A and B are shown apart, each in its own frame.
Chain A
Amino acid sequence: MSIFEYNGSALVAMVGKNCFAIASDRRLGVQLQTIATDFQRIFKIHDKLFLGLSGLGSDAQTLHQRLVFRHKLYQLREERDMKPETFASLVSAMLYEKRFGPYFCQPVIAGLGEDDKPFICTMDSIGAKELAKDFVVAGTASESLYGACESMFKPDMDHEELFETISQALISSVDRDCLSGWGGHVYIVTPTEVTERILKGRMD
């Protein structure tokens, strides 16, 4: 059994027209036993930057706290929010620092960059960045998610269609994975607002 599959997770982020969506499942388990059905895997860094962390729950929480710490200091020093690309470089550097004793997490970063251009990326547990123009996935359900996203995604969706698409992709993929599920958590972010929705799927 891999440490990345200990808690179970599913994460996906998608790019739309001047908006992005980031979604996760809500299960926290200890191998086969479900412990929580409201576990938060997506965190807001600032109004236009969201971070999802799949993998070991403990590392996800710790890494999130450390990144918030770094970002708050950056905001105080530079008197501005971090750009998503900059934040991704920071996460990558922090993960590589622990090259020989890594965080067991796979982050998904989604944000609106300069001129509110959507930016998404993922990386492995030691910081190898993977930029994408359409969607990125992570977690125990990632293989199903790749398939679902590849077939359901189309470019330049508006935020309502994007919500439908990402929700369908997430629910159908976690239903094929015993370690993730128990509903979904979807954030739709446009330049003017952030909408958070809870999905109800198969509660098993």
Chain B
Amino acid sequence: MGDSQYSFSLTTFSPSGKLVQIEHALTAVGSGQTSLGIKASNGVVIATEKKLPSILVDETSVQKIQILTPNIGVVYSGMGPDSRVLVRKSRKQAEQYNLLYKEAIPVTQLVRETAAVMQEFTQSGGVRPFGVSLLVAGYDDKGPQLYQVDPSGSYFSWKASAMGKNVSNAKMFLEKRYTDDMELEDAIHTAILTLKGLLVFEGQISGKNIEIGVIEADRTFRVLTAAQIEDYLQEVE
């Protein structure tokens, strides 16, 4: 680092008022595997394609959808290793809140703190922004919630959203099919249909090449097993 001409923050403003590194980070996200989330009236579902680099990879060892607290889960699009760092930090923040207040952290608070971490990396020296967008799904006293957090640190609450490749097609599909009074089962079917429509699989869509996570009124986030996904796939056929 030292004497280099470039020993200032990578995220300095360009003359057009943009932070070029964040734009590039969003490009990294946009070329990542598609993931989507749908908020139903009684729960939230998040899903992603799980395309592995080779058939020799043990797919049971890969889990893209992660749990942050018993009632909050997350999926990402973009760089896997970056998402792991964020998941680790978020889990710690959630647990610190619990230690202090002996209460589960509300979804908005956790999203806010995670977004603050991502923003920090756009305004510090010697670091680069995270190359992931996160979809955070949770159920707390305010009901089911779905948030998207971008590399810039901005976050939005969504009724339904998609990220990664083919995001515009995915969002068009979701816009057509989403209804405000949708129930969780419908939402899961819609999520599967969206992924199915977008993806060009080598072979068939199956429980082994997509991942689905749900949370409903019992406030327990769970990742569906391959067998459960197969059952839903059969229903959708």
* Interface residue ranges, A against B (CB under 8 Å): 77-78, 83, 85-86, 89-90, 93
Minimum Cβ distance to chain B for residue A177 (Å): 34
Q: Do A89 and B109 touch (CB < 8 A)?
A: no
Q: Do A89 and B106 touch (CB < 8 A)?
A: no
B99 cross-chain contacts in A, Cβ below 8 A? 93
B109 cross-chain contacts in A, Cβ below 8 A? 77-78
Q: Do B106 and A90 touch (CB < 8 A)?
A: no
Q: Which residue of A lies closest to B106 (CB)?
A: A78
B103 is an interface residue with CB less than 8 A from chain A: yes
| Cα-based distance from A77 to B105 in the complex (angstroms) | 12
B100 cross-chain contacts in A, Cβ below 8 A? 89-90, 93
User: Which single member of B102, B108, B112 contacts A86 (CB below 8 Å)?
Assistant: B102
Q: Which residue of A lies closest to B108 (CB)?
A: A78
| Between-chain CB contacts (< 8 Å), 18 pairs | A77-B112, A78-B106, A78-B108, A78-B109, A83-B103, A85-B102, A85-B103, A86-B101, A86-B102, A86-B103, A89-B100, A89-B101, A89-B102, A89-B103, A90-B100, A90-B101, A93-B99, A93-B100
Interface 1/0 per residue, B204-228 and A, CB below 8 Å: 0000000000000000000000000
B101 cross-chain contacts in A, Cβ below 8 A? 86, 89-90
Q: Which residue of B lies closest to A129 (CB)?
A: B102
Q: Which residue of B lies closest to A70 (CB)?
A: B100
Q: Which residue of B lies closest to A89 (CB)?
A: B102
| Cα-based distance from A93 to B98 in the complex (angstroms) | 11
Additional A-B contacts beyond A78-B109, A90-B100 (17; CB < 8 A): A77-B109, A77-B112, A78-B106, A78-B108, A83-B103, A85-B102, A85-B103, A86-B101, A86-B102, A86-B103, A89-B100, A89-B101, A89-B102, A89-B103, A90-B101, A93-B99, A93-B100
B99, B101, B103, B106: which has the most chain A beta carbons within 10 Å? B101
Interface 1/0 per residue, B71-110 and A, CB below 8 Å: 0000000000000000000000000000111110010110
Minimum Cβ distance to chain B for residue A122 (Å): 17
Minimum Cβ distance to chain A for residue B105 (Å): 10
B108 cross-chain contacts in A, Cβ below 8 A? 78
A89 cross-chain contacts in B, Cβ below 8 A? 100-103
| Cα-based distance from A85 to B104 in the complex (angstroms) | 13
Minimum Cβ distance to chain A for residue B155 (Å): 14
| Cα-based distance from A86 to B108 in the complex (angstroms) | 18
Minimum Cβ distance to chain A for residue B157 (Å): 14
A77 cross-chain contacts in B, Cβ below 8 A? 109, 112
Minimum Cβ distance to chain A for residue B116 (Å): 12
Q: Which residue of B lies closest to A92 (CB)?
A: B102
| Cα-based distance from A151 to B108 in the complex (angstroms) | 48
| Cα-based distance from A93 to B101 in the complex (angstroms) | 8
A83 cross-chain contacts in B, Cβ below 8 A? 103
